[in-house]
Structure 1
């Protein structure tokens, strides 16, 4: 199994995971052979990279999702219904919000093979907003797990992450959506101040360059986690469609003057730049596939090198003279 750019060169290859449309209905089943017609349809639906089965496919490269697609579909629908209620009633149902958050926390897969898949088509605005909100929640939970959040903090952070963009439902002016969300949540006494303040501040940066121009310790910790999670999800699943290592590099260029050092460290040490199944080239010229991760240094995974039907395992944590110079798609 390996990750590849979706183009006509993949004609005849078999897709390694199921793709669903915006209604949660299966569009393309895992194992389906790609044709030019299917490739064009997927591209039109906003999917630009896919995992395919190939000669590297074995149990060590089994594809796992951070959140099982069937569970995610159900939660996207539930969140979508909540968004419709918000637009209609101008209020946020706390019980329905907390139920979605608890189910995400109870089902998130934090194993090294788990990745956030680009396996939902992007046609309906509300569906896309719900999908994005859940993805931001997933990344926030991954970072918070590294930071060793307790259950109470995890739930309050996750609520803020899940609802960070609800202002877009009732406010057309993009610049005003955090304030609109803040006012909605503050109107329900069930939501804690840490939740609605984090939603209000989720576009702020350490140096005061955000829309509210607040900085440093004046920005609540949850907001800092949601900020970096939102950036990452937009880079890998939004219009930029970057690979994980590209998104991490782009976020890194913001510098620690914009990002909180502790939160950035949590991000760098919990989000894998080279997920399993990625084909890479080393500075030695050798080509191989990432087959496993090194927990202590995510930027230096374990590679299976292939040459003339021979296989060699290279652990970059210990072979310091070798490094990844290129991702091959």
Structure 2
């Protein structure tokens, strides 16, 4: 299995590995089938950018680092319900949020690494909610490298899941952290820590963020972790960067948007080359990443010419020279 852009889909050699959903979270196209050109064009009109596919190149790649699709879709539904409860002035589903936070922590802890599904895998109507779920997954992926209690991890997950809840209250972009904070602190079931993750996730290490222009240690570390996750997820989903490009972009933000220490933590905890990525090594041979094991930046790859698997962790002279962006080019 691998994730491809919809423009790279080839009905003669590929089948869907995971279902495609509509804006109501219903299965539009099931896994295990090829996509008729008419349906493929419809997906493009729906502005869906990515597909999970199986083909000969990706045979045997499981992508266990990716959250299973039913869990991801259910999580998106919980965040959607929370947002709509505010808009409709209904009871806020805090217990469902807390349960989801626990599930996010559980799913992240049991994996060596987390690989995100870009929100543009879905229609526009679901992307804001999917973004919040992705940010929470990545936030906990980074936080688990700290010495935190289960309660701290859960509270951090709640804050990350609700970091954009203010967007259901105000259309003023620079006011949504404050609006979300004011809303959350009125709910006694939400910890002040969770509320501050929402409040401070747009503050910057250099003090040029909003809403208060806090800097360095004035910004709670948990909010800084959420901010890094937020930046990476936007680079991946909105700017359509490949994971290695998004990480390189994050590294340029040392000392400006983010602290050097947390960026280093990020690089240690997030793989640049995800399973299913097609690459060219410095020996000129094309390969595909099959697994991320001990060293997240030194994965196991499989040569495309003879199917031999090689661990880059065990072969220190082998380097990934290029990532193949589509079926006919490298970068």
TM-score (ref. length: structure 2): 0.88
Give ranges in structure 2 of 5+ residues lacking alignment.
327-331
1:191 CA displacement: 2.1
Following the alignment from structure 1 to structure 2, what is the Cα–Cα distance between the partners of residues 306 and 106? 35
Quote the residue 1:323 is aligned against. Answer: 319
Shift of 1:87: 2.2
The one-character-per-residue Cα deviations of 1:265-298 (angstroms, maximum 9, x if unpaired) are 22211211111111100122100111122423x2
> Could you say what secondary structure the match of 1:291 adopts?
strand
1:181-260 matches, within 5 Å, as: 181-211=180-210, 212-238=212-238, 240-260=239-259
> How far apart are 1:111 and its partner, in Å?
3.0
CA contact (8 A) 2:78 2:97 kept: no
3-state SS in 1 of match to 2:31: coil
Report the secondary structure of 2:16's partner residue: coil
Q: 1:167 to 1:63 in 2, by over 3 A?
A: same
Is 1:37 the counterpart of 2:35? The answer is: no
Report the equivalent of 2:301: 303
**Farther off after superposition, 286-295 or 7-16:** 7-16
* Structure-1 separation of matches of 2:75 and 2:52: 24
Equivalent residue, structure 2, for 1:23: 24
The equivalent of 2:94 in structure 1 is 94
Classify the secondary structure of the residue corresponding to 2:201: coil
In 2, Cα distance between equivalents of 1:20 and 1:142: 26
C-alpha spacing 1:51/1:74, structure 2 compared with 1 (3 Å): closer
Q: Secondary structure at the match of 2:51?
A: strand
What is residue 158 of structure 2 aligned with on the other side?
159
Aligned equivalent of 2:11: 11
Change (3 A) 1:26 1:113: farther
CA RMSD in angstroms, aligned pairs only: 2.3
Are the aligned partners of 1:167 and 1:177 in contact in 2 as well (CA < 8 Å)?
yes
Q: TM-score, normalised by structure 1?
A: 0.89
- Cα offset for 1:81? 1.9
User: In the TM superposition, what is the alpha-carbon distance from 1:136 to its structure 2 partner?
Assistant: 0.9
Q: What SS does structure 2 have at the residue aligned with 1:7?
A: helix
1:8–1:36 Cα contact (<8 Å) kept: no
Partner residue, 1:286: 285
Cα-to-partner distance string for 1:25-52 (whole Å, 9 max, x where unaligned): 1112122213332332223333323332
Matched, 1:275 2:274: yes
Count of equivalent residues: 322
In 2, are the aligned partners of 1:79 and 1:100 still within 8 Å (CA)?
Answer: no
**1:9/1:223 Cα in 2 relative to 1: closer, same or farther (>3 Å)?**
closer
Give ranges in structure 1 of 5+ residues lacking alignment.
none
**1:55 aligned onto 2:56:** yes
Q: Deviations over 1:56-109 (max 9, x none)?
A: 3444x1133633221232232232222122223387453332122123333447
